[in-house]
Structure 1
Amino acid sequence: MAGISSIDLENEHACRTQADRLLLQLKVNGPQTASDLALSLKITGEAVRQQLQKLAADHLIKFQSEKKGVGRPCQRWKLTKLGEGRFSDAHSLTTVQLIQGIRESLGEGALNTILRFREEEMEVAYRTALKDAKTLSARVQRLTEIRSHEGYMAEWREEEDGTFLLIENHCPIYTAATTCQGFCRSELSLFQRCLGEDDVRIERTEHILGGSRRCTYKIWPAPHNA
């Protein structure tokens, strides 16, 4: 039986890396065409098509047809539920079991107490990290860095109207949040206090638990006379 050469191993590693990068592109940027992916990944259209076929065969991605004007519909590829599962949901099973155990043994009040304790600890850490950020844009940028470090694949941008968007492309506590939506309420309240309780407004405009592919927060300075 022939051995596996170093070239074969390098090629296998390159393919695996391309596949991972392709999945990440779909995770962060949403549905895309093959040509979009080739441009983003800086690889050939043929290489992209090969990866798409393999990932589709593994049920990690699927396409949706979009009709735009005359001509053939374009195919936009997106992650399946199995594909979404390739991105970590931190200790999901253990966390869910703990939540259910606390709720059944100690009651909803005890669970809410634990959530408040978690929120207070996070607030101390966030305020410490944000203390030197004097402007709203600096605070949003710093919060984005914190959330990315925690696994939320976060990014931010300033809009033309002066508002800011904090975008979280992944939720590492998704399974726990579906079991206890207090996590989401807690985080929105936490963001409000850390960014500026009196002079900042924040609204969640996209929510993964509501069926969106990401969570998005719109942030803007509050009117002084509000």
Structure 2
Amino acid sequence: MENKTPFREGAVNLLKTSGPQSLLSLAREFKVTVEGARFQMLRLEKEGLVTSSKTVTGRGRPQQLWSLTSMGQSRFPDTHAALTVKLMEVMKELLGEGAVSQLITANGEKGTDKYLKELEGVVDLEKRINDFVSIRTKEGYMAQVIKDDEGFIFIENHCPIGAAAHANPAICNAEFKTLQTVIGENIPIKRIEYIVDGGRRCAYRISAVKL
């Protein structure tokens, strides 16, 4: 079915719901030329709503993908964000910081178990990372991976739990622990970009060399 949504509005919505897109994909989706798509995306980039990066998705030349910036993401307010933060504050007041920490830990462990089950039997590191990217993208993280000479850069362009993470950074620590466990305890991983610190995205350097 032809997408009749105006390009600017439609492109932002598509990047939100489907993750990073190439100019060719955008052009096909909205029935415009690639140059027309480039012109519109550069306008959105100038407004601070989108950005582009090059990524390798298999063999061949790196592909330029467009994704939302934090400003672009803010156009989609999370209606549960305020409630989540408020509930955490109330829990802390009534039950103490320890109860909040236990909740975060338990939730992280539950998520980790889910991922490990979904990735069971996937031994190859690159495939494991790519499969995890697919899972996280479906969950709204707009994940992607870039392969280079040092290994991989695992990127999450959006954080659907951003409000809660800003309120309690322990959530980010639990997320990092989950990533480490899922990818492999013997695989060196380092956070190199961090939304909570003002970054546009969260990104992690994953070494191809095991400890």
Q: Which TM-score applies when normalising by structure 1? A: 0.68
Counterpart AA for 2:197? G
Cα RMSD, aligned residues only: 3.5
Contact preservation (8 Å) 2:194, 2:203:
yes
What residue is the counterpart of 2:6 in the other structure? 16
Distance 1:131 1:90, change over 3 A: farther
Give the distance between the partners of 1:201 and 1:51, measured in 2 at CA: 36
What residue is the counterpart of 1:201 in the other structure? 188
Identity of aligned residues (%): 33
Identify which of structures 1 and 2 has the higher relative contact order when contacts are C-alpha pairs closer than 8 Å and 6+ apart: 2
Give the distance between the partners of 1:139 and 1:170, measured in 2 at CA: 21
What residue is the counterpart of 2:116 in the other structure? 127
Counterpart AA for 1:21? A
Give the distance between the partners of 1:205 and 1:79, measured in 2 at CA: 17
1:20 shift after superposition:
2.5
Give the distance between the partners of 1:79 and 1:123, measured in 2 at CA: 27
Give the distance between the partners of 1:48 and 1:143, measured in 2 at CA: 30
What residue is the counterpart of 2:134 in the other structure? 145
Aligned residues, how many?
187
Determine which structure has more spread, i.e. the larger CA radius of gyration: 1
Distance 1:157 1:96, change over 3 A: same
What residue is the counterpart of 2:198 in the other structure? 211
Give the distance between the partners of 2:12 and 2:81, measured in 1 at CA: 25
What residue is the counterpart of 1:178 in the other structure? 166
Distance 1:137 1:88, change over 3 A: farther
Distance 1:143 1:52, change over 3 A: closer
What residue is the counterpart of 1:4 in the other structure? none
Contact preservation (8 Å) 1:154, 1:169:
yes
SS in 1 for 2:144: strand
**Which of 155, 171, 196 pairs up with 1:167?**
155
- 1:220 and 2:207 aligned: yes
* Structure 1 residue ranges, 4+ long, deviating more than 4 angstroms after superposition: 22-29, 44-53
Contact preservation (8 Å) 1:26, 1:79:
no
Contact preservation (8 Å) 1:200, 1:221:
yes
SS in 1 for 2:122: coil
- Unaligned runs of at least 5 residues, structure 2: 49-67
- 1:84 and 2:69 aligned: no
1:151 shift after superposition:
0.6
SS in 2 for 1:14: coil
- Unaligned runs of at least 5 residues, structure 1: 1-10, 30-35, 64-77
